[in-house]
Homo-oligomer: A and B are copies of this chain.
Amino acid sequence: MHSIRKILIANRGEIAVRIVRACRELGIASVAVYSDADRSALHVLHADEAYRLGPAPATDSYLRSDLILAAARQSGADAIHPGYGFLSENAAFAAACKDAGLIFIGPGAESMALLGSKTRARQAADKAGMPRTPGSTQTLESLEQANEVATQIGYPVMLKAAAGGGGKGMYAVYSADELQTAFDNARSEAERAFGSSEVYLEKLLLRPRHIEIQIAADEHGHCISLGERECSVQRRHQKIIEECPSAILSEALRKRMGEAACRLAMTGGYTNLGTVEFLLDSEENFYFLEMNTRLQVEHPVTELVTGIDLVQLQIRIAEGYPLPFTQDEVQRRGHAIECRIYAEDPDNSFFPSPGKITRLLQPSGPGIREDCGVYEGWTVPNDYDPMISKLIAYAPTRLDAIHKLLRALDEYTIHGIRTNLELFKRILADEDFRIAAIDTGYLERLLASPARKMLAEESATFADIAALAAAFMERDGSPTPAVRAARASSSAQPAKWKDQARREGLRS
């Protein structure tokens, strides 16, 4: 055991806040780092200490391992939690932490390099006898090579960043003439997001579900599965809604997938928390997709269903403690669903919508958890991922959780930036989602279908209320000259307005 006293969190936003909270609950001091865009960010306010890294671009701040290690030295931190994204799956950074005498809260650099690289992990999966989708097990050196592999396995194919995650640098390619643009875009996006332009490609399955297994491995040779998450609701390969458990997984299949995930992790000498992602076809065949060698965005749904605090568990494992429970002791109860709230404009192809949050009214109460990275008055910067918060509901059944989420969404108001809040209401009310008839193409199909029009009557009522409220709100405002003239003469003729006949249909 090597007791950790102070953790530097090499991340930002909601996940940095999440980790600060775990530190405080364990009596461990927390150190935030920040770019110039994040001086006033929530994670800086919550942490015990805070150090500036550099200018706003991630390549000048959150991706600069040298600056992060310098901040660790300066603060006297003895461990680093990388969160997700940024340097969390960078084996060189993990190794550099170790060289600097710091505990990296995650797997060792070698097993990260093996299992975290999408291409090498596919080789390891082959060795462990795990089914995987056809495609390259090597980084594509050139467009020609990409063309060759794609032609061999047949279109459609998927281009992916070897160092990637979170849907970034992923491009579906349906025919050969789309390959060049996709190849260039994927490499460029991968370079920007992960500091490596390496990409590979694999066969695109039709209508698969995305099911992933959360594993936990200690430094004493134990590895267990904490169950699955279903993350099939995606837009542009970016998860939008995740849930635990999956509505369609049988106990037998859950066990088989959990065992396969643990086998892969053990093969790779993996420690700490990790997630093995699979695609599942309609015949219950699962295919290894990739392994995320870090905490996942969607870890809260597993926490709610198992009752285990995963970030605290990560820290305890990194301190050298054995897992505090066996596979059989992991109890699942109830159903949890998470919505990822993004600063993006639903009227503009969900393009990012950074800016100042002028109003933030957040839900709470029974069965609702929010892991939020922003606050009213904060300006969401242009430089990073647009996810600003995660809203999670927990209830005895999936349908109860859906109803709790809808209730919470009704209580949620964000002004100043556009968000995808309305999208969740649409999904959660959708019949296919309710019966869990979802796959990774579900959301794109839903978005392509015409939105259910609000009942005309309901819409008219709200518009009436809006008009009354606006008139009330503007009663002391600065009216235009036309309005001022009208107001001056209004006291002479109030009776007239009241005498007008009621219009039928308008709430009378």
Contact = CB atoms under 8 A, between A and B. Distances in A.
Interface in A164-211: none
Contacts of A311: 366
B365 A407 contact: no
Contact of A25 (B300, B369, B372, B404): B404
A366 B300 contact: yes
A68 to B, nearest CB: 24
Contact of A365 (B18, B307, B406, B411): B18
Interface in A1-56: 17-18, 21-22, 24-27, 46
A364 interface: yes
A369 B365 CA distance: 6
A396 B303 CA distance: 11
Interface residues of A, number: 37
A407 B366 contact: no
A356 interface: no
B25 A400 contact: yes
Nearest to A404: B25
Contact of A366 (B27, B333, B369): B369
Contacts of A21: 365-366, 407
A331 interface: yes
Contact of A371 (B24, B365, B371): B365
Nearest to A310: B366
A404 B407 CA distance: 26
Contact of A333 (B17, B26, B331, B369): B331
A309 B18 contact: no
A444 interface: no
A410 interface: yes
Which of A25, A26, A400 lies at the interface centre, i.e. has the most chain B CB atoms within 10 A of its CB? A25
A403 interface: yes
A33 to B, nearest CB: 20
Interface string A343-383: 00000000000000000001011111111100000000000
22 contacts: A18-B365, A18-B366, A21-B365, A24-B403, A24-B407, A24-B410, A25-B404, A25-B407, A27-B403, A46-B411, A300-B366, A307-B333, A307-B396, A309-B366, A311-B366, A331-B331, A362-B364, A364-B364, A364-B372, A365-B369, A365-B371, A365-B372
Interface of A: 17-18, 21-22, 24-27, 46, 300, 303, 307-309, 311, 331, 333-334, 362, 364-372, 395-396, 400, 403-404, 406-407, 410-411
Q: List the 7 closest A-B pairs by CB distance, nearest first.
A: A25-B403, A24-B407, A25-B407, A21-B365, A307-B334, A364-B370, A307-B333
